[in-house]
Amino acid sequence: MSPIEPVLFRVLWGDPFKGLTQGVILAHDTDEALVAAHELRPDLPRPRTAFLVVETSG
């Protein structure tokens, strides 16, 4: 189930052994984040990893 409001995802492009590029994408789910990231950076290989960015209070 997707949240009503979009949330932040950190998307990674590349290979951890050869170098990574990362960005923060506002999306409803990981699939949407990966598609948006690819549209944002079509010059890079399609990203395959997205992590939910969670803010903690404290």
Q: Which pLDDT does position 1 carry in this prediction?
A: 46
Q: Which pLDDT does position 9 carry in this prediction?
A: 97
What is the tens place of the pLDDT at every residue in 3-57? 588 999 999 998 888 889 999 999 999 999 999 999 999 999 999 999 999 866 5
Of the chain, the end-to-end C-alpha distance in Å amounts to: 28
- Environment class of 9 (CB within 10 Å of its CB; exposed 0-12, middle 13-18, buried 19+): buried
pTM: 0.81
Q: Find where tokens 């789910």 sit.
A: 29
